[in-house]
């Protein structure tokens, strides 16, 4: 008779109670809700992480996870979410920007006034360039205002790549042929480089979102895209980053988070604002603390 | 022949940071035919009420990041139908001042933990306008 | 082209000496900026503690607590503890959020907190065990539920044990179920906790 333990890894079978412990932890920490139907998927991902961390049991892994040893929470969340960056990613937020947010933002400005938008982290530039492209293609009032778009990241190599503006097919996969032809030119190795005018119009800077001194000089933003970074921070850093973002916004300014993220797990500083295309967060207009 | 169909089930949002409390309310209410969603604090609750229709919210007082009173005040000063969703506030406090504050914040009714199943069902049915 | 390359606005800055004094400013904005700048200044804890005691603007209170959280030493924990007794639910919750993130610094205070005369403090303190290691949390919470009379405090402890409890918790949980057998909710909660713990350990 086969010994069921021979050749079996210690976490070959994760019990339903262990899955429940894990799902409850993940929900409490991130807001991500994993349904029963995804059971097979959960088991697979958990087993991968248990093996990757060299844990001898689910319980050992769970202790490691709770203590966030070696940034395991980041690895775990990455294994449960898709993290590619590409142009027009989460375009419902870009649509929300042009359909809802900008109307409110410019209602408080004179014609010719300045709209300030920040992408942080901007990574290799897909997000700030997407904002620029989307505005030019979709906002009827784009010529009525000065639009300042800033892109910041803690990674200087990513910033260099952003400034260079060279992308492969995968990054451009959501863009129409027409948009690519008008705003990009082909360069070596089958890549495309975004238009020089666009490259020169975005301010790329290095900044650490958690350090109040670093971000003190970023003021009066009308809209901030801060997607898929806060979810990875520890408790203190999340609070601090939220306080910094609040400070960098104008009263009434908006923040967009990543699709798996919610201010409910981050900070009470912002008002929940629901629009047809997205839920975003708003710094209160009147500042009563 | 006309098919009237079954009436839509009343939808309840359970807001409490304890997973066991949420589980307890959910199992009681689902057995009675309600559709139950959950939230862990007032911010998540606002996201949910702004995204889906609810007939009632059950809201605990002590929650992280946005407590029950703050949530109710935010709910009641929101634009649209959301502001008038009935709210059953549940707290560990039995002092009258908490009940007064609950009413001032906009709760329709106030219960003290631990809540018995039949007590919960009775008040939920009344406030959600449903019948058992 | 409507896209304009902006420039960063005002210069940032601020050293720590001016910030500590600014914690006292009549202007909430100055106090907010000061609190946010002091999270890496261990010597600022007394000033932060004093500021927390008199601050009534929630946003500034939050920033003071964030700063104390980042410093995270025993003195910071002592500075945050009194907020657990506040009549303001939001302040209590923020205090717990901060303390929960400092399990090592909070550990020496746990026995005392779980034995506090005020049942609300005992209830809140159970949350602080959530980020401690499983054996330590189990021991602390089982000691509590063995002697605890208040059902809501037990309920809070059992919620944490459901996540972190080891099989060592099972006898205390079973005793608790007997003591509170005729009350609503607790028998349910304990049965879930027992199932979760047994299912997670015994295969």
Which of helix, strand or coil describes residue A246? Answer: helix
This prediction's pTM: 0.94
Active-site residue, A153 included: yes
Q: Would you say domain A91-282 falls under CATH 3.40.50.150?
A: yes
Alpha carbon distance B61, B91 (integer Å): 5
Chain A residues touching residue C96 (CB < 8 angstroms) = none
Among candidate residues A21, A29, A39, A45, the one labeled active-site is A45
**What residue in A sits closest to B40 (Cα-Cα)?**
A28
Chain C residues touching residue B115 (CB < 8 angstroms) = 184-185
Alpha carbon distance A245, A239 (integer Å): 10
Domains and CATH numbers, chain B: 18-128 (3.40.50.2300)
Per-run averaged pLDDT (10 residues), chain A, 289 residues:
47 84 95 84 92 94 92 92 90 98 96 96 98 98 96 97 97 97 97 96 96 93 97 94 98 96 97 97 80
Which residues touch C45 (CB under 8 Å, ≥6 apart)? C68, C71, C73, C75, C76, C79
Domain boundaries along the sequence of chain A: 16-80, 91-282
DSSP code per residue over A29-86:
HH-----GGGHHHHHHHHHHHHHHTT-SSHHHHHHHHHTTGGGHHHHHHHHHS-----
Mutation pick from A18, A119, A239, A268 vs chain C, by most beta carbons of C within 10 Å, is A239
| Contact at CB, B44 and A27, closer than 8 angstroms | no
Alpha carbon distance C141, C145 (integer Å): 6
Residue A132's nearest CA partner among A211, A213, A194 is A194
Class of domain C16-101: mainly alpha
What is the arrangement of strands in the sheet containing B35-39, beginning at the earlier edge strand?
A: B35-39, B11-15, B56-60, B87-91, B109-112
C84-126 pLDDT per residue, tens: 999 898 999 999 999 999 999 999 999 999 999 999 999 999 9
Q: Would you say domain C105-203 falls under CATH 1.25.10?
A: yes
| Contact at CB, B92 and C123, closer than 8 angstroms | yes
Which of helix, strand or coil describes residue C137? Answer: helix
A85-121 pLDDT per residue, tens: 999 999 999 999 999 999 999 999 999 999 999 999 9
| Contact at CB, C185 and B21, closer than 8 angstroms | yes
Q: C144 in contact with B at a CB cutoff of 8 Å?
A: no
Decide whether C16-101 matches C105-203 in CATH topology: yes
Position A4 scores a pLDDT of 47
Domain boundaries along the sequence of chain C: 16-101, 105-203
Locate A157 and state its tokens: 């190599």
**What residue in B sits closest to A239 (Cα-Cα)?**
B65
Alpha carbon distance C14, C29 (integer Å): 14
Instruction: Check if the beta carbon of residue A172 is closer than 8 Å to that of residue A214.
Output: no
For the domain made up of A16-80, give the CATH fold.
Chemotaxis Receptor Methyltransferase Cher; domain 1 (1.10.155)
Which residues touch C64 (CB under 8 Å, ≥6 apart)? C23, C35, C48, C51, C52, C55
Instruction: Check if the beta carbon of residue A167 is closer than 8 Å to that of residue A192.
Output: yes
Note whether ipTM > 0.90 here. yes
Any idea how long chain B is? Answer: 132
Mutation pick from A25, A260, A272, A278 vs chain B, by most beta carbons of B within 10 Å, is A272
Q: Indicate the DSSP class of residue C85.
A: G
| Contact at CB, C12 and A132, closer than 8 angstroms | no
């Amino acid at each position: 008779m086969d010994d069921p333990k021979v050749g079996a890894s210690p976490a070959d079978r994760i019990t339903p109670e262990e899955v429940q412990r894990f799902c409850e932890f993940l929900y409490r920490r991130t807001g991500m809700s994993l349904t029963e139907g995804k059971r097979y998927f959960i088991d697979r991902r958990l087993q991968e992480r248990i093996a990757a961390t060299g844990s001898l049991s689910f319980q050992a892994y769970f202790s490691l996870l709770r203590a966030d040893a070696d940034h395991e929470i980041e690895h775990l969340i990455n294994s449960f979410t898709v993290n590619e960056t590409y142009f027009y990613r989460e375009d419902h937020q870009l649509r929300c920007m042009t359909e809802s947010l900008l109307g409110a933002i410019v209602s408080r400005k004179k014609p010719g006034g300045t709209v300030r938008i920040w992408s942080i982290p901007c990574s290799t530039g897909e997000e700030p360039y997407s904002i620029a492209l989307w505005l030019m293609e979709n906002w009827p009032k784009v010529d009525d205002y000065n639009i300042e778009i800033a892109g910041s990241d803690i990674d200087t190599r990513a910033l260099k790549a952003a400034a260079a503006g060279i992308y492969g097919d995968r990054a451009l996969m959501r863009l129409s042929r027409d948009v690519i032809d008008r705003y990009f030119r082909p360069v070596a190795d089958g890549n495309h480089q975004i238009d020089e005018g666009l490259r020169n119009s975005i301010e790329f800077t290095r900044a650490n979102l958690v350090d109040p001194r670093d971000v003190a000089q970023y003021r009066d933003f009308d809209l901030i895209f801060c997607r898929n970074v806060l979810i990875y921070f520890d408790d203190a850093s999340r609070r601090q980053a939220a306080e910094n973002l609040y400070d960098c916004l104008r009263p009434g300014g908006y923040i967009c988070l990543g699709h798996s993220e919610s201010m409910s797990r981050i900070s009470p500083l912002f008002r929940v604002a629901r629009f047809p295309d997205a839920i975003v967060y708003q710094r209160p207009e009147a500042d009563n603390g | 022949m006309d098919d009237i169909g079954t009436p839509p089930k009343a939808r309840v949002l359970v807001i409490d940071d304890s997973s066991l409390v949420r589980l307890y309310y959910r199992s009681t209410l689902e057995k009675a035919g309600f559709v139950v969603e959950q939230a862990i604090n007032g911010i998540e609750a606002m996201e949910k009420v702004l995204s889906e229709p609810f007939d009632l919210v059950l809201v605990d007082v002590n929650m992280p990041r946005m407590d029950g009173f703050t949530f109710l005040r935010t709910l009641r000063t929101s634009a649209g139908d959301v502001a008038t969703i009935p709210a059953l506030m549940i707290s560990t406090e039995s002092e009258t001042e908490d009940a007064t504050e609950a009413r001032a914040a906009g709760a329709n009714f106030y219960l003290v933990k631990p809540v018995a199943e039949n007590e919960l069902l009775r008040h939920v049915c009344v406030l959600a306008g449903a019948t058992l | 082209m409507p896209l304009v390359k902006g420039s960063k606005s005002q210069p940032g800055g601020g050293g720590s000496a001016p910030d500590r004094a600014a914690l006292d400013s009549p202007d909430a904005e100055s106090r907010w900026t000061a609190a946010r700048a002091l999270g890496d200044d261990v010597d600022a804890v007394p000033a932060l503690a004093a500021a927390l005691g008199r601050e009534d603007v929630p946003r500034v209170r939050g920033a003071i607590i964030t700063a104390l959280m980042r410093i995270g030493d025993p003195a910071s924990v002592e500075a945050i503890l009194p907020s657990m007794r506040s009549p303001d639910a939001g302040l209590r919750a923020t205090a717990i959020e901060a303390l929960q993130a400092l399990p090592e610094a909070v550990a020496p205070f746990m026995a005392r907190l779980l034995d506090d005369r005020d049942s609300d403090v005992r209830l809140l303190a159970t949350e602080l065990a959530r980020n401690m290691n499983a054996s330590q949390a189990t021991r602390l919470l089982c000691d509590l539920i063995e002697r605890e009379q208040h059902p809501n405090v037990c309920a809070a402890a059992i919620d944490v044990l459901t996540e972190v409890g080891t099989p060592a918790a099972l006898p205390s949980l079973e005793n608790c179920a007997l003591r509170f057998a005729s009350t609503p909710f607790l028998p349910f909660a304990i049965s879930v906790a027992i199932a979760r713990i047994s299912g997670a350990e015994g295969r």
